[in-house]
Amino acid sequence: MEPVPHAGWTAARDAVLQAFAKGEHIAALLGPAGVGKTLLLRELEAALRARSIRVLRLDHGDGAEGALEAAPDTEALLIDEADRMGEAALEEAAERRGCFTVLVGLPVLARRIAPWPHRVVELLPLPAAEVPSYLAARMAGTGLRGTRLTEEAGVELAGLSGGTPRLLNTLLAMAFHEADMTDAVEVRAEHVRDAAALRAEMPERNPAPETAPAEPAPPDPPPCRETGTTLRAPPAAEASPPASPASPRTLSLAVAPGTASQARSRRPAAILAGTALLLLGGLAWLEWRKQADTTSPEVVLPRAATPAAEAERRAEGPAPPAAVSSKPAMAEAAQAPGLPDGALVRVVITYPRGVAEAGRRGAALSAALGQAGVSAGAPFPVSRPPTGPEVSYFFREDRDAALRVRGMGGLEGALPVLGNTAGTAPRPGTIEVALSTPGATGEERDGPLPEDAAPGWAPPPAVPVYPPAGAALTAGAASRGLLMTWAATEARPGCCFVEVMFLGGPGTPDGPPREAFAAYAEAPEQQLVQLPAAGSYAWRVLTVSAAARRYTASPWRHFVLGAAPS
Amino acid sequence: MVFLRWPAFIALPAILALAACQSAPPAGPPASRPVTRAARPSPPTPSRVEGAWSFGVAGDRCTAQVAHREATLGITAGPGRTVTLSVGAPGRRSARSTRIAFRGDEGAWEAQGRGGAGRLALATMPLDEAAEGRIRDLLGGGTVTVQAQGVEVPALGVPDAGVSGRDWYGCVSRLAER
Distances in Å between the Cα of A446 and the Cα atoms of A41, A384, A392 are 32, 10, 12
Question: Counting Cβ atoms within 10 Å, is residue B129 exposed (0-12), middle (13-18) or buried (19+)?
Answer: exposed
The answer to whether residue B53 neighbours chain A at the CB level (below 8 Å) is: yes
The answer to whether residue B37 neighbours chain A at the CB level (below 8 Å) is: yes
Check residue B103 and give its pLDDT: 95
The answer to whether residue B43 neighbours chain A at the CB level (below 8 Å) is: yes
More confidently predicted of A131 and B9? A131
DSSP state of A62: G
Question: Counting Cβ atoms within 10 Å, is residue B173 exposed (0-12), middle (13-18) or buried (19+)?
Answer: middle
| A23, A117, A419 member nearest B37 (Cβ) | A23
d(CA A554, CA B112): 46
d(CA A415, CA A390): 7
Q: Tell me which chain A residues have a C-beta less than 8 angstroms from the C-beta of B162.
A: 421-424
d(CA A427, CA B66): 18
Question: Which residue of A2, A111, A347, A380 is the best one to mutate when testing the B interface, meaning the one whose CB has the most B CBs within 10 A?
Answer: A380
d(CA B36, CA A519): 46
Question: Are B59 and A517 a contacting pair at CB < 8 A?
Answer: no
Q: Which amino acid is at A318?
A: P
Note which residues in 316-355 of chain A have CB less than 8 A from chain B.
346, 348, 350, 353
SS3 assignment, position A236: coil
DSSP state of A203: P
Q: Tell me which chain B residues have a C-beta less than 8 angstroms from the C-beta of A419.
A: 163
Check residue B45 and give its pLDDT: 62
Note which residues in 93-132 of chain A have CB less than 8 A from chain B.
97-100, 114, 116-119
Check residue A223 and give its pLDDT: 33
Question: Are B35 and A98 a contacting pair at CB < 8 A?
Answer: yes
d(CA A177, CA A98): 50
The answer to whether residue B32 neighbours chain A at the CB level (below 8 Å) is: yes
Phi/psi of residue A74, each to 5°? -65, 135
Strand runs labelled E in A353-475: 375-376, 380-382, 390-393, 417-418, 430-434, 463-466, 471-473
Q: Tell me which chain A residues have a C-beta less than 8 angstroms from the C-beta of B171.
A: 519
Nearest-10 crossing angle of helices A356-371, A399-408: 110
d(CA A417, CA A195): 46
Q: Tell me which chain B residues have a C-beta less than 8 angstroms from the C-beta of A422.
A: 162
The answer to whether the beta carbons of residues A62 and A218 sit under 8 Å apart is yes
| A119, A348, A520 member nearest B166 (Cβ) | A348
Question: Are B36 and A23 a contacting pair at CB < 8 A?
Answer: yes
* pLDDT tens-digit map of A446-496: 555 555 545 667 889 999 988 888 888 877 766 677 888 998 887 777 889
**A423 CA to chain B: closest CA distance, Å?**
7
d(CA A474, CA A454): 47
The answer to whether the beta carbons of residues A425 and B54 sit under 8 Å apart is no
List, for chain A, all residue ranges whose pLDDT scores fall below the cut of 70. 1-2, 62-63, 65-70, 200-337, 422, 438-456, 477-479, 563-566
Strand runs labelled E in A285-362: 346-352
3-state helix, strand, coil in chain A (%, to 5): 35, 20, 45
| Helix or strand (DSSP H, E) at A539 | strand A535-545
Order across the sheet with A76-79: list the strands. Answer: A119-122, A26-30, A100-105, A76-79, A55-58, A230-231, A226-227
Kindly tell me the sign of the dihedral angle through the C-alpha atoms of A33, A37, A42, A43: positive
The answer to whether the beta carbons of residues A145 and A183 sit under 8 Å apart is no
| Helix or strand (DSSP H, E) at A308 | helix A307-316
Closest among A184, A354, A207 to A269, alpha carbons compared: A207
Following DSSP, what letter does each residue of chain B receive, concatenated?
A: -HHHHHHHHHHHHHHHHHHHHSPPPP--SPPPPP------PPPPPPSEEE-EEEEEEETTEEEEEEE-SS-EEEEEE-SSSEEEEEEE-TTPPPPSEEEEEEEESS-EEEEEEEEETTEEEEEEEESSHHHHHHHHHHHH-EEEEEEETT----EEEE---HHHHHHHHHHHHHHHH-
Q: Which amino acid is at B4?
A: L
**B147 CA to chain A: closest CA distance, Å?**
25
**CB atoms inside a 10 Å sphere around CB B69:** 14
Return the number of CB contacts < 8 Å for A and B.
111
Q: Tell me which chain A residues have a C-beta less than 8 angstroms from the C-beta of B166.
A: 348, 350, 377, 380, 432
Check residue A56 and give its pLDDT: 85
d(CA A462, CA A274): 12
The answer to whether the beta carbons of residues A392 and A426 sit under 8 Å apart is no
Q: Tell me which chain A residues have a C-beta less than 8 angstroms from the C-beta of B53.
A: 423-424
Nearest-10 crossing angle of helices A151-161, A165-181: 140
DSSP state of A248: P
The answer to whether residue A426 neighbours chain B at the CB level (below 8 Å) is: yes
Question: Are B43 and A100 a contacting pair at CB < 8 A?
Answer: no
The answer to whether the beta carbons of residues A440 and A398 sit under 8 Å apart is no
Q: Tell me which chain B residues have a C-beta less than 8 angstroms from the C-beta of A100.
A: 35, 37
Q: Which amino acid is at A30?
A: L
**A387 CA to chain B: closest CA distance, Å?**
17
Question: Are A24 and B159 a contacting pair at CB < 8 A?
Answer: no
| B30, B34, B105 member nearest A118 (Cβ) | B30
The answer to whether residue B157 neighbours chain A at the CB level (below 8 Å) is: no
| B54, B60, B164 member nearest A421 (Cβ) | B164
| B30, B43, B159 member nearest A117 (Cβ) | B30
d(CA A540, CA A559): 11
**B66 CA to chain A: closest CA distance, Å?**
11
| A25, A117, A346 member nearest B167 (Cβ) | A346
**B135 CA to chain A: closest CA distance, Å?**
12
Distances in Å between the Cα of A106 and the Cα atoms of A44, A109, A415, A492, B14 are 18, 6, 48, 18, 42
Alpha-carbon dihedral angle through residues B88, B93, B95, B96, given to the nearest 10 degrees: 100
Order across the sheet with B119-126: list the strands. Answer: B48-50, B155-158, B142-148, B97-104, B108-116, B119-126, B82-88, B72-77, B61-67, B52-58
| B60, B167, B171 member nearest A348 (Cβ) | B167
Beta strand A557-561 with B142-148 is unpaired
| Helix or strand (DSSP H, E) at A535 | strand A535-545
Assess whether pLDDT exceeds 60 at residue B33. Answer: no
Check residue B125 and give its pLDDT: 93
Distances in Å between the Cα of A492 and the Cα atoms of A59, A479, A489 are 10, 29, 9
Q: Tell me which chain A residues have a C-beta less than 8 angstroms from the C-beta of B77.
A: none
More confidently predicted of B42 and A34? A34
SS3 assignment, position A56: strand
d(CA A45, CA A22): 17
Question: Are B59 and A528 a contacting pair at CB < 8 A?
Answer: yes
Phi/psi of residue B105, each to 5°? -65, -35
Distances in Å between the Cα of B69 and the Cα atoms of A198, A359, B45 are 43, 37, 11
d(CA A332, CA A72): 51
Q: Tell me which chain A residues have a C-beta less than 8 angstroms from the C-beta of B40.
A: 51-52
Question: Are B58 and A522 a contacting pair at CB < 8 A?
Answer: yes
DSSP state of A208: B
The answer to whether residue B106 neighbours chain A at the CB level (below 8 Å) is: yes
Q: Tell me which chain B residues have a C-beta less than 8 angstroms from the C-beta of A425.
A: 164
The answer to whether residue A51 neighbours chain B at the CB level (below 8 Å) is: yes
Note which residues in 59-98 of chain B have CB less than 8 A from chain A.
59-60, 69
pLDDT (average), residues B105-123:
81
Following DSSP, what letter does each residue of A110-157 receive, concatenated?
A: HHHTTTS--EEEE--PPPGGGHHHHHHHHHHHHT--GGGB-HHHHHHH
B42 falls in which pLDDT band (50, 70, 90)? low
**B96 CA to chain A: closest CA distance, Å?**
28
A563 Cβ contact partners less than 8 Å away, ≥ 6 residues apart: A321, A324, A475, A478, A506, A534
**CB atoms inside a 10 Å sphere around CB A306:** 11
